[in-house]
Amino acid sequence: MIGAGCEVADDAGGCLVIDLAAIRANYAFVAGLVAPSPVAGVVKADAYGLGAVRVARVLAEEGCGDFFVAHLSEALHLKPSLPQDARLYVLNGLQPGAEARCAAAGVLPVLNSMEQAMAWRDLALAERRRLPALLQIDSGMSRLGLPPEDVARLAETPGFFDQVEIKLVMSHLACADAPEAAANGEQLARFERLAAMLPPLPRSFANSGGAFAAPKFHGGLVRPGLALYGANPVEDAPNPLARVVRLDARVIQIRTIPAGTGVGYGLTFTAPDVTRLATVSVGYADGWPRQLGGRGAAYFGDVRLPIVGRVSMDSMILDVTALTDGALKPGDAVELIGPHQSLEDVARDAGTITYEILTSLGRRYARTYLDEAQTTALEINA
């Protein structure tokens, strides 16, 4: 559990606390769910905004040996922080011409198309060595991966599987957040039919949502991202994962306005009565969605403080009339994400998904990383 986020004196407008112990617990939870399938860590987009280097390090300590990022640039940045024997994969594959840089770094591309597969094979021939990679098949999402006709073409390409060492063949679910959806079973059937055209290889199919689906989806390597970061991968189900993120915003100014006074850009809110307002120093430049203007809230203790008017770039305005006068002062912190308001609540109010809330978390927050020992200390102080 995470204590209040702005306990440390600092000069930032908001405080982001990332509980690495909760990430450890979530990795162990997913590993237990899908055992004996091994579990990778998806740390693309800077580990969904939480810091790929820190996150990958704790995952490695928990026994994770396989890491996925989206771009080669992310892989090259992360590689030096991983244990020597960890495997690092680039989900989007490679841009034409990037193959030699990828191979030199010891990073494995996911080959998503005939072009990517042939370019990687050509490098293997040029370097006179067998180069490892993953192979992705499009089993029905139409995003990345070989389409069915190309799976057959690749299977018939002379020497390909001698020149390229395919470690895993993978695919990705379009409807993993609804584990019971018929589309998932259809994708699995298509994936298995297509993979059967290739030499026998371990298979990887499941993201976080897939980890919560039936064991037949788990295969040779499960690839969770979201679940590690504590957000619920399954829609409309209780969330069994440990909360990882706590976000607080600091109060800058408090005022009382008479009835009929307009608030914020565009004066989209007019106070119906005498209203006490608090301006807090988090805005859309911090990744706090502008869509939350007039819809979202912050919390002070158990009290919900609605966001009134539009969210500005660096601040937003809360209606704090529900608090007794003087209860909230400049410098105090209000909760944006925490025990009273989950990532799921924020995403719902903003009309988006938890992935977008996480990956948008701003760069200006004072960041604190907790791990086992410090978490305990905070709990004792709480």
Ligand X SMILES: *Cc1c(COP(=O)(O)O)cnc(C)c1O
Just list the catalytic residues.
Answer: 44, 265
Residue number with CB closer to ligand X (124 or 227): 227
Q: Which of 37, 184, 187, 208 binds ligand X (CB under 6 A)?
A: 208
Residue 221 as a binder of ligand X (CB under 6 A): the answer is no
String marking each residue 270-309 x if it binds ligand X according to CB under 6 A:
----------------------------------------
Residue number with CB closer to ligand X (208 or 375): 208
Residue 213 as a binder of ligand X (CB under 6 A): the answer is no
Residue ranges of alpha helices (H) inside the chain are: 20-34, 44-49, 52-61, 72-78, 99-104, 114-127, 148-155, 160-163, 182-195, 208-211, 343-350, 354-360, 372-381
Stretch that binds ligand X, among 52-60, 111-119, 225-233, 345-353 (CB under 6 A): 225-233
CB of 236 to ligand X, least distance (A): 16
Q: Which of 226, 271, 316, 343 binds ligand X (CB under 6 A)?
A: 226
Give the max Cα distance, the chain: 80
Contact 168, 134 (CB under 8 A): yes
CB of 41 to ligand X, least distance (A): 10
Residue number with CB closer to ligand X (284 or 355): 355
Residue 343 as a binder of ligand X (CB under 6 A): the answer is no
Stretch that binds ligand X, among 25-33, 181-189, 205-213, 274-282 (CB under 6 A): 205-213
Contact 187, 203 (CB under 8 A): no
Stretch that binds ligand X, among 99-107, 223-231, 292-300, 305-313 (CB under 6 A): 223-231
Tokens of 21: 């112990």
Residue 312 as a binder of ligand X (CB under 6 A): the answer is no
Amino acid (1-letter code) at residue 119: A
Q: How many angstroms separate the CA atoms of 25 and 30, rounded?
A: 9
CB of 56 to ligand X, least distance (A): 14
Please name which of 219, 254, 255 lies closest in space to residue 329, comparing C-alpha atoms.
254
Taking the alpha carbons at both ends of the chain, their separation in whole angstroms is 10
For residues 25, 30, 32 and 34, what is the CA-based torsion angle, rounded to 10 degrees? -170
The set of residues, in sequence order, having a beta carbon less than 8 Å from that of 342 and lying 6+ positions away, is: 239, 243
The set of residues, in sequence order, having a beta carbon less than 8 Å from that of 146 and lying 6+ positions away, is: 111, 112, 113, 114, 117, 135, 136, 137, 138, 154
Contact 269, 308 (CB under 8 A): yes
Residue number with CB closer to ligand X (103 or 358): 358
Residue 375 as a binder of ligand X (CB under 6 A): the answer is no
Q: Which of 13, 109, 132, 224 binds ligand X (CB under 6 A)?
A: 224
Residue number with CB closer to ligand X (233 or 293): 233
Q: Which of 26, 139, 207, 315 binds ligand X (CB under 6 A)?
A: 207
Q: How many angstroms separate the CA atoms of 317 and 294, rounded?
A: 10
Residues that bind ligand X (CB under 6 A): 42, 44, 91, 172, 207-209, 223-227, 233
